[in-house]
Amino acid sequence: MPKVHLTDLSVRALKAPENGTVTYFDDATPAFGVRVSYGGKKTWIVIRGKRRSRTRLGTYPDLPLTDARKKAKKLLSDAEHEVGRKPFGATLDQYIEMHGQKLKESSKLEVSRVLKRHFLPEYGQRPVGQITRQSVAAILDSLVVKTPGEATHAYCNIRTFFRWCVGHGYLLHSPCEAMSSPSRYIPRQRALNDMELKALWQFTDRVGYPFGTFVKLLVLTGQRSGEINSLHFNAIDYGSRTITFSETKNGRVHVIPFGNLFVEVLGTVPHRTGLLFPGRESDKPYNGGGKQKWLMDKELKLPHFTLHDLRRTFATKLAELGVAPHVVERLLNHSSGVISGVAAIYNRFEYRNEMRAAVEAWEERLRAIMKGNSQL
């Protein structure tokens, strides 16, 4: 649709199309315009509401431009008030249900966790139209000091949420417009030492399944927590002693070997079908790890670490054992690294034997750590 600067002179000068109609929108008042028919009739219109419905205001020159513009602004103001009235909590539930259909289950759970943890307590039943940029910034700023990575994730998720609200007619404008990421994310360098690993392993022995077993598998395999959390028994091949991850962060099927210690840990799982770590609904993964991690931190009192740091610990320990970097990259399923780009496309050798040797060496090293006398 053409956009013009509507004045009495320009409206009078608008020519009728040869057939049909053409609408000219005002560049000074968005969603307000004049519709010109092939017969020369000029009708004032305004587009409003979440359904983007068209409302006729009157015809020119019976309704002058000044009066038509005032009428349009009044209707748009009323529409904006109506659009923003839905409570944040109810809108968030609908967003997770609808937007989550496009995501993997683990990603959907993470989006839900971040938004409900950091924004739902503050906004709750507040209408989405009353949420200001300043209030969003205040929540994000409170996260930056202690958890800059979490602040970045929270910013990305709330920005996507408000964009969805605009696209679905619950808001006319996002409060995150013109906002930038609250922090420059600095990659973490935390890796647990031998004494910390021993304390962690002993803790997992005490708490057992599911959280203790889950943490042990993170330590043993170095895989992402979401991929271990959503692991099915049918992905584990005892004959070849391999695990196949079909849904991964980079979208590539990933196969890794496992050893005897992995089998021992797997023996603590009380069932042998479906998800290793099912939630209350057996077809969905367990999601109680956040509270268990908090309890673990409270008991162990180790320098702060995240579950993702266990992945970095795995890579660090393999390097200490002399495992080649490209083998570590394969075990971690990194999409970039020592072998990447065109080289990764043409290099089809998967280093299965080297990967198995690395896993066996890591399990042997872990057993030695558990038997050691080192104390924190």
Query: Do 102 and 246 share a domain, yes or no?
Result: no
- pLDDT tens, 76-116? 776 555 567 889 999 999 999 988 888 878 788 899 999 99
Could you tell me the CATH number of the domain that includes residue 64?
A: 3.30.160.390
Q: How far apart, in whole angstroms, are the C-alpha atoms of residue 210 and residue 293? A: 12
Q: How far apart, in whole angstroms, are the C-alpha atoms of residue 314 and residue 221? A: 7
Query: Do 75 and 92 share a domain, yes or no?
Result: no
Query: Do 232 and 247 share a domain, yes or no?
Result: yes
Average pLDDT over residues 105-131: 91
Could you tell me the CATH number of the domain that includes residue 264?
A: 1.10.443.10
Query: Do 109 and 252 share a domain, yes or no?
Result: no
> In this structure, are strands 53-60 and 42-48 parallel, antiparallel, or unpaired?
antiparallel
* Structural domain count of the chain: 3
Asked if residue 318 has pLDDT above 90, the reply is: yes
Phi, psi of 85 (to 5 degrees): -85, -15
* Residue that finishes a domain, picked among 81, 105, 140: 81
- Taking each helix axis from N to C terminus, what angle separates 194-207 and 289-300, rounded to the nearest 10 degrees? 120
Answer whether residue 172 is part of any domain: no
Percentage of the chain beyond pLDDT 90 is 54
Amino acid at 297: D
361: left (phi over 0), alpha (psi -120 to 50) or beta: alpha
pLDDT at res. 63: 92
How many CB atoms lie under 10 A from the CB of residue 357?
15
Query: Do 72 and 95 share a domain, yes or no?
Result: no
Answer whether residue 54 is part of any domain: yes
Query: Do 246 and 360 share a domain, yes or no?
Result: yes
Residues with Cβ within 8 Å of residue 13, at least 6 apart in sequence? none
Q: How far apart, in whole angstroms, are the C-alpha atoms of residue 134 and residue 20? A: 47
Query: Do 96 and 223 share a domain, yes or no?
Result: no
Kind plus residue range of the DSSP H or E element containing 113: helix 105-118
Answer whether residue 186 is part of any domain: no
Query: Do 123 and 22 share a domain, yes or no?
Result: no
* Residue that finishes a domain, picked among 64, 81, 98: 81
Query: Do 107 and 240 share a domain, yes or no?
Result: no
Residues with Cβ within 8 Å of residue 295, at least 6 apart in sequence? none
Q: Predicted confidence band at 276 (pLDDT cuts at 50, 70, 90)?
A: very high
How many CB atoms lie under 10 A from the CB of residue 323?
20
Query: Do 54 and 162 share a domain, yes or no?
Result: no
- Would you say the pTM of this structure is higher than 0.75? no
Query: Do 128 and 15 share a domain, yes or no?
Result: no
Q: For residue 322, what are the domain limits?
A: 194-371
Answer whether residue 179 is part of any domain: no
Q: How far apart, in whole angstroms, are the C-alpha atoms of residue 107 and residue 174? A: 23
Structural tokens at position 248: 């991964």
Query: Do 31 and 107 share a domain, yes or no?
Result: no
- pLDDT tens, 149-169? 889 999 999 999 999 998 887
* Residue that finishes a domain, picked among 52, 81, 110: 81
Q: How far apart, in whole angstroms, are the C-alpha atoms of residue 342 and residue 149? A: 31
